[in-house]
């Protein structure tokens, strides 16, 4: 298409999330790339809209200028009005005055005036067209008044009536209703461009980035929090009309200068064809760091070639962005790098709605990021290559662990997801939860923590139950840290959620077994993986070890209970399971998974976690709601026959677990531990109390000093070991344990020797990170 003497760019219609997008290639267009600023650009868009239906308009060059549905609708309204004027031929003589009278004096002028505003101006400047119409009505009325009582007066009245009908047609459109208040503020037509700028305020993003950011209703939002993730500001807002909060990001790549955008685009074009040789892949450096160095060199070369000045910081920042959008995960990487985010969800059709996520502090949040299907297909290609698993119509499910971001991803596609690709990301905490940390967030109280620590220390078999998102894995991780460091731990998982590498780094002896995923289990990689039940049998042959099963969900349950009964006797055995009560655990294990009731009795303790919404609040909080003992002398129904005994139960009115003292006299596990260890019941409770006081003191001290990092695993494991050593030394020296005295000795060591040294290191680390 030619506008004036110049050829303008082609256009194409794409579909994204059920929306049609009209994309113009503006890279070689001689005119301004702006519907608001340049009437020729506006004319081009409106001309195409005469034959093309679209929900949004995108002008693409180095930047992509996105005009949203409302703005596109305004242009479509004007196009439809133009076409309607043409269909009605509103400028022909029969509309210009009294029917069947052809006035040589006035009709030619009226015809030319209507042609000007109803065809010529309306095609590229609808506001000027409307203003010209208003002026024409006013002029015609004045000229008619001058001819009062003359034969041609009715002709002027008829013409005003016709023009008024055209005015009504204009004013039925949302566009004219929108601009009418703004027209009162301008003095002449030269200021019309200011109105276009107001109405057609464009969303701009780099052309090589698919994801779109939206910033709506900013004036009505209340800022709740603000922090940095990968040099990107994250803001959490409360919306006055939405139940979820708003999670807003504005990455640096969306706000760079034109020169920086130009360098980024040229760099991405250059590196898109780069193929690393064998040598580059054996350098010993991480792939990401290697490529980032390559990109830095490319950026410097391009900047020199085009005489663009870049500082070393600019080069580094731009290389980070190129890396993120080439070998990285694009804008998703920013969300998945936020340590306060626990889950990220992208529902199909992608792009129709923004990404939403779950924030550890602010609950479910809607982001301002719209993720397109094109980017999703590229992302899935990377995941498919890394996992070695297929993803197509025959295999519409892909489950994979992303170790670089400590995240588990589940992808579904057609035909399972009829609207296209969808994602669910579960982010794992880099450092494991500890019992003091769980106390600090009120997930459980110190007494419950001391009791569970005691059970772990005495090699109980334990299941952590709860619904999805209840905090089962977090709790089990904290309990794993209570296992003695001189014990060997074997961990079996189908998805790598437990922080085994970190535990090894702080002194634990652990061996992880990766089993076949419960979903998406096909393809070469999946076929090479071991079934959970086979892996569990292997674990029983790997020597004397504590056994941890990431999740009990299928036939491996029978093997787990075999381990509980014989294979791992004398060691801790733990696992998680989906159930919302101790009775539901029995029902699921026995009736759903086929484990005999007699085998189920090998379970000593069931811990149940639930998300709690206080008094109907929109917010939910993770709480341990039951610590239940499984007794051994019953036959068919544990609830009816007293086979399950609640040692502690959650009281919502107090927001804490309450000890069920009446049930303790019927407990069998304390008697069992007493017989095996020689401790009296009183000594057992002294031991539990000691552990409880230890956890409580750590939490209170960390909060008092404002150094919450003291509750991280590397510190809590160390000080717990010190407590055990102090108790052991006291027992050897005095022949019996005075638990109060042991606690005081440990507390003195903590305050005088441990805390000053660790606090100094933590504060120095904070300063270095700033």
For residue 21, pLDDT over 80 is answered with yes
pLDDT in tens, 262-296: 898 888 888 876 655 444 443 334 778 888 898 99
CA dihedral 614, 450, 583, 495 (to 10 degrees): 90
Indicate whether 420 and 441 sit together in one domain: no
Indicate whether 44 and 107 sit together in one domain: yes
Among 427, 443, 458, the domain-final residue is: 427
Mean pLDDT within 195-206: 86
Indicate whether 485 and 532 sit together in one domain: yes
Indicate whether 334 and 197 sit together in one domain: no
Residue 592, helix vs strand vs coil: helix
For residue 128, what are the domain limits? 1-207
Half-sphere exposure of 476 (CA within 13 A, CB side): 31
Residue 185 neighbours by CB under 8 Å, 6+ apart:
none
Indicate whether 44 and 76 sit together in one domain: yes
Comparing 274 with 380, which gets the higher pLDDT?
A: 380
Residue 636: pLDDT band by 50, 70, 90 thresholds? confident
Closest CA to 55 of 84, 13, 24: 13
Mean pLDDT within 193-221: 84
pLDDT in tens, 449-496: 999 999 999 989 999 999 888 889 899 999 999 999 988 898 888 777
Name the token pair of 63: 């930047």
Residue 220 counted as domain residue: no
- Cβ distance 58 to 35 under 8 Å? no
What separation in angstroms does the CA of 541 have from each of 380, 489, 568?
38, 13, 10
For residue 535, pLDDT over 70 is answered with yes
Closest CA to 638 of 558, 564, 583: 583
Using the Cα atoms of residue 401, residue 406, residue 410 and residue 413 in order, give the sign of their dihedral. Answer: negative
Indicate whether 444 and 392 sit together in one domain: no
Residue 2: pLDDT band by 50, 70, 90 thresholds? low
CA dihedral 393, 395, 399, 402 (to 10 degrees): -70
Q: What is the b/e burial string over 314-335, where b = at least 16 CB atoms within 10 angstroms of the residue's CB?
A: bbebbbbbbbbbbebbbbbbbb
Residue 388 counted as domain residue: yes
Residue 17 counted as domain residue: yes
Average pLDDT over the chain reads 87
Write down the pLDDT at residue 278.
44
- Cβ distance 81 to 111 under 8 Å? no
Residue 761 counted as domain residue: no
Indicate whether 420 and 442 sit together in one domain: no
Residue 188 counted as domain residue: yes
Mean pLDDT within 417-421: 90
- Cβ distance 607 to 465 under 8 Å? yes
CB atoms within 10 A of CB 398: 25
pLDDT in tens, 28-39: 888 888 999 999
For residue 258, pLDDT over 90 is answered with no
Among 674, 700, 728, the domain-final residue is: 674
Mean pLDDT within 711-725: 95
Residue 766 counted as domain residue: no
Indicate whether 398 and 513 sit together in one domain: no
Comparing 700 with 431, which gets the higher pLDDT?
A: 700
The CATH number of the domain holding residue 481 is 3.40.50.300
Q: 166: alpha, beta or left, given left = phi > 0 and alpha = psi -120 to 50?
A: alpha
Write down the pLDDT at residue 386.
84
Indicate whether 503 and 373 sit together in one domain: no
Residue 687 counted as domain residue: no
- Cβ distance 160 to 137 under 8 Å? yes
Residue 709 counted as domain residue: no
pLDDT in tens, 300-349: 999 999 999 999 999 999 999 999 988 889 999 999 999 999 999 999 98
Closest CA to 426 of 360, 500, 512: 360
Alpha helices in 7-106 (DSSP H): 39-49, 69-88
Count how many domains the chain has: 3
Among 152, 175, 207, the domain-final residue is: 207
Write down the pLDDT at residue 280.
43
pTM score, whole prediction? 0.76
- Cα separation, 48 vs 390, in Å, equals 41
Indicate whether 401 and 443 sit together in one domain: no
Write down the pLDDT at residue 149.
67
- Cα separation, 612 vs 621, in Å, equals 5
Burial zone of 603 (CB within 10 Å; 0-12 exposed, 13-18 middle, 19+ buried): buried
Indicate whether 364 and 442 sit together in one domain: no
Q: Tell me the residue ranges of DSSP E strands in 214-262.
A: 222-229, 232-238, 245-249
764-770: list long-range contacts, CB under 8 Å, 24+ apart.
none
Check whether the bond before 349 is cis (ω within 30° of 0): yes
The CATH number of the domain holding residue 403 is 3.30.450.380
Indicate whether 459 and 375 sit together in one domain: no
Comparing 744 with 151, which gets the higher pLDDT?
A: 744
């Amino acid at each position: 298409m030619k506008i004036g003497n110049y050829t303008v760019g082609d256009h194409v219609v794409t579909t994204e999330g059920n929306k049609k997008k009209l994309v113009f290639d503006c890279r070689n267009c001689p005119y301004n790339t702006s519907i608001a600023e340049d009437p020729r650009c506006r004319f081009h868009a409106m001309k195409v809209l005469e034959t093309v239906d679209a929900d949004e308009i995108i002008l693409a060059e180095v930047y992509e200028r996105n005009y949203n549905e409302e703005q596109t609708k305004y242009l479509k309204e004007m196009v439809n009005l133009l076409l309607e004027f043409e269909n009605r031929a509103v400028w022909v003589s029969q509309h210009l005055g009294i029917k069947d009278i052809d006035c040589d004096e006035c009709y030619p002028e009226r015809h030319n005036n209507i042609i000007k505003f109803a065809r010529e101006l309306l095609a590229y400047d609808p506001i000027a067209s409307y203003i010209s119409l208003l002026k024409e009505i006013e002029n015609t009325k004045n000229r008619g008044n001058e001819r009062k009582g003359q034969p041609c007066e009715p002709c002027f009245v008829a013409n005003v009536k016709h023009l008024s009908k055209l005015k009504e047609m204009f004013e039925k459109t949302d566009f004219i209703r929108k601009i009418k208040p703004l027209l009162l503020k301008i003095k002449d037509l030269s200021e019309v461009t200011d109105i276009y700028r107001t109405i057609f305020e464009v969303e701009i993003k780099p052309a090589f980035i698919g994801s779109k950011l939206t910033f709506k209703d900013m004036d009505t939002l209340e800022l709740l929090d603000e922090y940095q993730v990968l040099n990107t500001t994250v803001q959490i807002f409360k919306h006055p009309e939405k139940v979820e909060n708003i999670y807003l990001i504005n990455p640096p790549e969306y706000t760079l200068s034109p020169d920086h955008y130009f360098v980024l685009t040229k760099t991405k074009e250059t590196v898109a064809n780069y193929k690393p040789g064998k040598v580059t892949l054996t350098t010993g450096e991480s792939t990401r760091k290697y490529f980032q160095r390559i990109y830095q060199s490319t950026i410097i070369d391009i900047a020199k070639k085009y005489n663009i000045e870049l500082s070393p910081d600019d080069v580094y920042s731009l290389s980070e962005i190129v890396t993120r959008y080439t070998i990285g995960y694009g804008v998703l990487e920013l969300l998945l790098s936020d340590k306060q985010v626990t889950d990220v969800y992208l529902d199909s059709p992608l792009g129709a709605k923004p990404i939403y996520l779950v924030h550890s502090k602010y609950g479910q949040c809607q982001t301002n990021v719209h993720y397109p299907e094109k980017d999703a297909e590229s992302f899935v290609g990377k995941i498919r290559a890394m996992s070695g698993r297929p993803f197509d119509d025959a295999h519409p499910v892909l489950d994979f662990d992303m170790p670089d971001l400590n995240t588990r991803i589940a992808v579904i596609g057609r035909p399972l997801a009829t609207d296209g690709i969808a994602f669910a990301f579960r982010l794992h905490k880099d450092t494991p939860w500890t019992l003091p940390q769980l106390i600090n967030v009120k997930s459980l109280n110190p007494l419950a923590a001391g009791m569970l620590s005691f059970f772990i220390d005495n090699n109980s078999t334990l299941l952590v139950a709860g619904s999805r998102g209840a905090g089962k894995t977090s709790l089990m991780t904290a309990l794993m840290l209570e296992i003695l460091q001189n014990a060997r731990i074997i961990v079996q998982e189908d998805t790598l959620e437990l922080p085994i590498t970190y535990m090894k780094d702080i002194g634990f002896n652990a061996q992880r077994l990766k089993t076949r995923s419960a979903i998406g289990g096909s393809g070469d990689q999946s076929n090479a993986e071991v079934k959970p039940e086979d892996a569990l049998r292997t674990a029983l042959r790997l020597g004397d070890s504590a056994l941890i099963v990431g999740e009990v969900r299928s036939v491996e349950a029978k093997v787990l209970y075999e381990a509980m009964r014989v294979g791992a006797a004398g060691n801790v055995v733990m696992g998680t399971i989906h159930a919302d009560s101790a009775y539901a655990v029995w029902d699921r294990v026995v009736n759903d998974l086929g484990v005999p009731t007699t085998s189920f009795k090998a379970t000593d303790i069931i811990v149940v976690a639930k998300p709690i919404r206080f008094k109907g609040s929109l917010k939910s909080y993770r709480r341990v709601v039951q610590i239940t003992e499984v007794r051994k002398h019953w036959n068919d129904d544990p609830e009816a026959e007293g086979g399950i005994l609640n040692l502690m139960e959650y009281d919502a009115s107090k927001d804490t677990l309450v000890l069920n003292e009446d049930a303790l006299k019927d407990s069998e596990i304390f008697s069992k531990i007493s017989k095996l260890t020689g401790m009296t019941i009183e000594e057992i409770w002294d031991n539990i109390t000691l552990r409880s006081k230890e956890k409580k003191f750590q939490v209170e001290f960390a909060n008092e000093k404002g150094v919450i990092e003291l509750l991280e695993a590397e510190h809590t494991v160390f000080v717990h070991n010190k407590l055990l050593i102090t108790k052991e030394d006291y027992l050897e020296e005095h022949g019996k344990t005075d638990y109060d005295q042991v606690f005081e000795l440990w507390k003195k060591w903590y305050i005088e020797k441990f805390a000053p040294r660790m606090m100094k290191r933590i504060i120095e680390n904070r300063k270095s990170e700033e």
